[in-house]
Amino acid sequence: MAEAIKEQETEVSETPVLHVAPSPHLSSTAMTTQGMMRDVLIALAPVVLVALYMFRGLALFQIAVCVVTCLAAEALFVKMRGRKATLTDCSAAVTGLILALSLPATAPWYVGVIAGFVAIGIGKVIFGGVGMNLFNPAMVGRAFVMISFAGALAASGYENGLSQVDAITQATPMDAFKQNGVVTPLMALFWGTTNGSLGETSALACLLGGIFLCVRRTASWEIPAGVIAAVVVIGGLQQIMVPESGWTVLHHLFGGALLFGAFFIATDPVSSPLTPKGKLIFGLGVGALIMILRIFSGYPEGVMFAVLLMNALTPLINRWTIPQPFGEV
């Protein structure tokens, strides 16, 4: 009897285990959240280096405040929900770094702290955590402090004429043109030798990091392509209609946070559409809204508002661009 039972146990142990689950059954484990966030951190390295070179200790302090705050907020809010800590996926660190790079070097420390807690708490955790947020968390935090501390984040908040850091003794290129019609040389915008938010000054750094993300397929190329296409078309029309302004399509592309937003903010896989067609529509919408805000509003920049507005339309875009099932007539 004992031998018969042992034979049955052996047969059961050798029987292959069937895992029953809904389709699709083909998947790849190469693209993980941690891997994607690591790619974003690597891609942001050129942007961070330019920021440190231009703004020195101010940039380092701002980055440290925002990253540490976002990590602390993530740990706190996840613990309050009784969930397992998610700091190892690096998503909170990426949110903190993008948030810091969207702020001016002169922003007070409490702006970064409040923005970090709002970005994680209201922009991410309240929706259910990683992969559930409707809006880009970093832009939620940025919008909150921009409304709450308008003086610190307005055009004058970027400037400090008494500072030993040369970059912040001058007006930002976008504000200089908006207020006084002063056109910043293209090469200064390309290399990043201007004032502005930490991550927006160097077009070259944003391009290097953005191309890396697209090659790695961490970012969908359709989104930045749509943004740039919309800016080229609308900016080209403006250049034709108002040639005497001296502000060209390249100024629109290299100036402000357009490239930083196109490659690092708008491409957030959670708050952007799922299909290639939807991503292109999303990018075109972001680019068009940026140009509308730049040309017709009182703001010299419009990337943050454009991304948040298109984030709100993402569920509709997903519905409009549902792909046709294979074989359906």
Over the chain, what is the mean pLDDT?
A: 87
Question: Looking at the predicted structure, is the pLDDT value of residue 154 above 90?
Answer: no
How much is the average pLDDT of 139-167? 84
**Where along the chain do its domains lie?**
33-319
d(C-alpha 82, C-alpha 39), whole Å: 29
pLDDT tens digits, 271-294: 999 999 999 999 999 999 999 999
Backbone conformation region of residue 232, classed left if phi is above 0, alpha if psi is from -120 to 50, else beta: alpha
Q: What pLDDT shows up at residue 31? A: 72
Q: What pLDDT shows up at residue 12? A: 46
Among 45-54, 251-260, 297-306, name the one with the lowest average pLDDT. 297-306
**Model confidence, pTM:** 0.87
**Strands annotated E in the chain:** none
Q: How confident is the model at residue 29 (pLDDT cuts 50, 70, 90)?
A: low
pLDDT tens digits, 225-269: 999 999 999 999 999 998 888 889 999 999 989 999 999 999 999
- The tokens for 135 are 């809006």
Fold of 33-319: Ammonium transporter fold (1.10.3430)
Closest by Cα among 212, 121, 195 to 159:
195
Most distant pair of Cα atoms in the chain: their distance: 99
Q: How confident is the model at residue 62 (pLDDT cuts 50, 70, 90)?
A: very high
